[in-house]
Amino acid sequence: MEYAISKGILVAIVLAPLLGSIIAGLFGRQVGRVGAHSATIAGVAISCALSIYTLWQLMQGAPVFNENVYTFFEVGNYSAHVGFLVDNLTAMMMVVVTFVSLLVHLYTIGYMAEDPGYQRFFSYISLFTFSMLMLVMGNNFLQLFFGWEAVGLVSYLLIGFWFKKPTAVFANMKAFLVNRVGDFGFLLGIAGVLYWFGSLDYATVFAAADSTIGGGQTIEVITGFEWSVATLVCICLFIGAMGKSAQVPLHVWLPDSMEGPTPISALIHAATMVTAGIFMVARMSPLFELSETALQFILFIGATTAFFTGLIGMVQNDIKRVVAYSTLSQLGYMTVALGVSAYSAAVFHLMTHAFFKALLFLAAGSVIIGMHHEQDMRKMGGLRKYMPITFWTSVIGTLALVGTPFFSGFYSKDAIIEAAKHAGDGGWVYHYAYWAVLLGAFVTSFYSFRLLYMTYFGAERFRDAHPSPVHAVHDAHGQETRHEPLHDDGHAHPAGGDAHAHDDHGHHGPHEPHESPWVVTLPLILLAIPSILIGYFTAGPMLFGTDWTGHHEVRGFFDGVIHVLASNDVLATLKDEVWHGPTAFALHGFVTPVFWLVVAGFVLATVMYWWKPGLPAKAARVFALPIRVLERKYFADDLWIGGFAGGGVALGKLSRVFDTRVIDGLFVNGSARVVELVSGVIRRLQSGALYHYAFAMIVGLILLLAVLIKYWR
């Protein structure tokens, strides 16, 4: 039986979430809450089911689908299209995006149950899913850029969903502006592709890549400095990925995106926006393989992000921010894999990470619900007996994140570390990257188990939490109102208090944590299953071209999709040296330095946050300076906000002064005043009397004769 992917099915996959978004957004009042979540969940469920069916068809031998479905415009010899390129990479991304999005939609029913913007939120997350599908399914750079900007726009709307919350408004603006920096580079890269190839179609560009820019062609960007065209185009494209996938120094927006509701934190950080940059570089592998310089640049940025942003997670106390910095670090791991040409490992880690990171975010949201919208881990503790499902799923997500053998994160993360170890020609950047991802395993283990201990073990510190005092704030019209501090739900709940539990004095009394409803815990369970199993069954086909047992050669999952030069194929080296099937690989993992660093992180977290809970305070005094640096996030926010943004404002003020005082004051108004002054003097000489003019002529003649006599030769 021959299989073929249907264009109609692909159109339905894309449009189903968009239709749900339109129903919930434009007709939310008419259909109500149930209608809004029913329409969006149905749309994403249809998209998920059809995506799984499309992936199954490809696995059964269906040919790659690459067709245009709509012509957007034609200008001269260039035409822009909406089209789909569906191969194994695309289909895998479609399944991950829609599956995680579907579970987030279900979870949102419970998490946003009391929010007045219920229908609006469902409209946004469904639109977010549509945007990401357009990005990953496109067959040309223009459609890629459309999806790229669309996910940026919707993330702006979602991060600032609680638009009356000043920190949320600041965070969404910060995300939007930082991404504009990356997108400027991305747009330059796309312009370079169009200039050199005369086309934005993937197939056309990739087929001509080696002959067009692979022969050492150069361009003089700055007079006297020749740049490789391949390097210039690839670095510009990667700058776009640095913004979307939050790589240093364009990482500052991602932790602040926690100001949005927890479901969107899971969607942004796990399966959609932040993975767009990783997907893009993997898709562009035929271009990136032409520039060793670009790959080394990617490797350095990824290694720096993997280690140094992970360190910041060690000192965070907000439960969502710990997971956010974990995302930054894991994105760094993926970028390191891209830099050593292990594109398959990067995308494989993208897939496994999507499941266990979505699980950790949604589990954090479940804790926030159970704690009545408290996010500070210092006010938690002992929650495992109150929230057993959330606790055990958090444990599973944590074990996957730290790379425990046999868990999904182990196969993808250890493959990246091994690839970094075996890659390159011994240059310093390869050694730097290897040590960064190796030591990052210790850092990840420490902050992950620290989160578990502070949240679920030890004393029940929430019983000692006191509400914050009421303070005066002003509304948008300048009228003074009285509000409690805003928390994760965007409402005025006192710190550590239940929004509905008041004592006789108007203060919030102590609350009892509780397990979340089934619409919250069911997605946790469904995400925990692939967090355990999916790596074991897919590592062989995706990374090494073997079946899931590791004993039989099969066509690699990404063969013909991801292109790697033979000299850069580090995964082929790993296949020969370390891969003998998923079981043997996991058993070997118990004797690697990575595992013992994970154990060391676990032991240190156990001692500090369970056995000797007084140690963190002592450590804070001893290591006050480095902790201060980490708490200030290496002063990156100061650089961006106070430096670049503040410098821009100062420069604007200076230019305004220069424009007002010099341009307008001196040159424009000053020249006018000079003309006015001179004309005022000259005007007095024009009396209109004939004898005045005759007298002036005689005086002038005398002066002229005097000059002639003096200089006569």
**Residue 551: is its pLDDT beyond 60?**
yes
Last residue of a domain, one of 581, 613, 645: 613
Give pLDDT, residue 510: 45
16 shares a domain with 132: yes
- Segment 641-654, tens digit of pLDDT: 777 777 778 788 78
**Considering the domain boundaries, does residue 502 fall inside one?**
no
What gap in Å lies between CA 35 and CA 20, rounded to an integer? 10
Residue 318 phi, psi (nearest 5):
-80, 125
**b/e map of 582-597 (b: 16 or more CB within 10 Å)?**
beebbeebeebebbeb
* Angle subtended at Cα 496 by Cα 495 and Cα 498, rounded to the nearest 5 degrees: 100
**Residue 497: is its pLDDT beyond 50?**
no
Average pLDDT over residues 359-381: 89
**Residue 7: is its pLDDT beyond 50?**
yes
What gap in Å lies between CA 121 and CA 162, rounded to an integer? 10
Give pLDDT, residue 466: 45
**Considering the domain boundaries, does residue 446 fall inside one?**
yes
What share of the chain in percent tops pLDDT 90?
A: 57
Nearest to 21 by CA among 112, 107, 126: 126
**Considering the domain boundaries, does residue 32 fall inside one?**
yes
The residue whose two tokens read 């500052």 is 252
416 shares a domain with 525: yes
Give pLDDT, residue 72: 85
461 shares a domain with 335: yes
Window from 129-133, 321-325, 370-374, 402-406 with minimum mean pLDDT? 370-374
**Residue 473: is its pLDDT beyond 70?**
no
What gap in Å lies between CA 607 and CA 590, rounded to an integer? 22
What gap in Å lies between CA 336 and CA 419, rounded to an integer? 9
417 shares a domain with 284: no
- Segment 597-610, tens digit of pLDDT: 999 999 999 999 99
**Residue 49: is its pLDDT beyond 60?**
yes
Give pLDDT, residue 260: 85
**Considering the domain boundaries, does residue 649 fall inside one?**
no
More confident of the two residues 74 and 58:
58
Nearest to 154 by CA among 25, 35, 240, 30: 25
Global pTM value: 0.85
Q: Are 349 and 413 in contact (CB under 8 A)?
A: yes
Residue 461 phi, psi (nearest 5):
-70, -20
- Where residue 362 falls among pLDDT bands split at 50, 70, 90? very high
128 shares a domain with 161: no
- Segment 77-119, tens digit of pLDDT: 788 889 999 999 999 999 999 999 999 999 999 888 888 899 9
User: Rounded to a whole number, what is the distance in angstroms from the first to the last CA of the chain?
Assistant: 115
Last residue of a domain, one of 613, 643, 672: 613
The SS3 call for residue 474 is strand
What gap in Å lies between CA 363 and CA 356, rounded to an integer? 10
448 shares a domain with 313: yes
156 shares a domain with 109: no
Give pLDDT, residue 655: 76
Give pLDDT, residue 125: 93
What gap in Å lies between CA 436 and CA 433, rounded to an integer? 5
**Residue 512: is its pLDDT beyond 80?**
no
Q: Tell me whether the omega of the peptide bond preceding residue 513 falls within 30 degrees of 0, making it cis.
A: no
- Where residue 413 falls among pLDDT bands split at 50, 70, 90? very high
- Where residue 465 falls among pLDDT bands split at 50, 70, 90? low
314 shares a domain with 246: no
**Residue 271: is its pLDDT beyond 80?**
no
Q: CA neighbours within 13 Å on the CB side: how many for 184?
A: 6
Question: How does the average pLDDT of the chain come out, rounded?
Answer: 87
The string of DSSP codes covering 155-218 is HHHHHT-STT-HHHHHHHHHHHHHHHHHHHHHHHHHHHHHHHHS--BHHHHHHHHHHHHSS--E
What gap in Å lies between CA 497 and CA 511, rounded to an integer? 6
Average pLDDT over residues 226-244: 92
**Considering the domain boundaries, does residue 500 fall inside one?**
no
Provide the domain count of the chain: 4
Give pLDDT, residue 223: 72
Q: How far is CA 328 from CA 48, 93, 335, 444, 449, in A?
A: 27, 20, 11, 11, 17
**Residue 145: is its pLDDT beyond 70?**
yes
What gap in Å lies between CA 573 and CA 403, rounded to an integer? 21
Domain hosting residue 68, numbered range: 1-139
**Considering the domain boundaries, does residue 644 fall inside one?**
no
What gap in Å lies between CA 560 and CA 575, rounded to an integer? 18
Give pLDDT, residue 713: 59
What gap in Å lies between CA 339 and CA 285, rounded to an integer? 11
Last residue of a domain, one of 240, 267, 290: 290
How does strand 218-222 pair with strand 225-228? antiparallel
Which structure tokens are listed for 29?
Answer: 């009042």
Give pLDDT, residue 505: 31
For residue 231, give the amino acid letter.
Answer: T
Give pLDDT, residue 541: 92
- Where residue 525 falls among pLDDT bands split at 50, 70, 90? very high
144 shares a domain with 35: no
CATH of residue 87 = 1.20.120
- Where residue 11 falls among pLDDT bands split at 50, 70, 90? very high
Give pLDDT, residue 302: 96
The string of DSSP codes covering 318-335 is BHHHHHHHHHHHHHHHHH
For residue 595, give the amino acid letter.
Answer: F
Q: Give the single-character DSSP code of 459.
A: S
What gap in Å lies between CA 647 and CA 16, rounded to an integer? 45
**Considering the domain boundaries, does residue 120 fall inside one?**
yes
What gap in Å lies between CA 420 and CA 433, rounded to an integer? 7
456 shares a domain with 535: yes
321 shares a domain with 198: no
Average pLDDT over residues 607-633: 89
**Considering the domain boundaries, does residue 80 fall inside one?**
yes
428 shares a domain with 344: yes
